[in-house]
Chain A
Amino acid sequence: GESVGLHLPTLSVQEGDNSIINCAYSNSASDYFIWYKQESGKGPQFIIDIRSNMDKRQGQRVTVLLNKTVKHLSLQIAATQPGDSAVYFCAENMGSGGGADGLTFGKGTHLIIQP
Chain B
Amino acid sequence: DTGVSQNPRHKITKRGQNVTFRCDPISEHNRLYWYRQTLGQGPEFLTYFQNEAQLEKSRLLSDRFSAERPKGSFSTLEIQRTEQGDSAMYLCASSLVLGNTIYFGEGSWLTVV
What is the distance, in angstroms, from B104's C-beta to the closest C-beta of chain A?
Answer: 4
User: Which 7 pairs between the two chains have the least Cβ-Cβ distance?
Assistant: A105-B42, A43-B104, A102-B45, A43-B106, A44-B104, A43-B107, A102-B33
Instruction: Tell me the total A-B contact number using a CB cutoff of 8 A.
Output: 68
- Is B101 close to A, CB under 8 A? yes
Chain A residues positioned under 8 Å from B31 (CB to CB): 98
Q: Using a Cβ–Cβ cut-off of 8 Å, how many residues does chain A contribute to the interface with B?
A: 24
Contacting pair A97 B97 (CB below 8 A): yes
Proximity string of chain A (20-52) to chain B, C-beta cutoff 8 Å, 1 when within and 0 when not: 000000000000101010000011111001000
Contact A102 B102 (CB under 8 A): yes
Count of chain B residues with a beta carbon within 8 Å of a chain A beta carbon: 30
Cα A7 to Cα B26 with chains together (Å)? 33
Asked whether, in the complex, the Cβ of B99 is within 8 Å of the Cβ of A98, the reply is yes
A-chain residues with CB within 8 Å of residue B72 when the two chains form the complex: none
CB distance from B37 to the nearest CB of A (A): 9
A contact residues around B93 at 8 Å (CB)? 102
Cα distance, A106 to B95, chains bound together (Å): 20
With a 10 A CB-CB cut-off, give which of A44, A45, A93, A108 has the most chain B CB atoms: A44
User: How far apart sit A19 and B40, CA to CA, in the bound complex (Å)?
Assistant: 21
The answer to whether A93 touches B104 (Cβ under 8 A) is no
Report the bound CA distance from A67 to B102 in whole Å.
Answer: 23
A107 at the interface (CB under 8 A from B): yes
Residue pair B45, A101 in contact (C-beta under 8 Å): yes
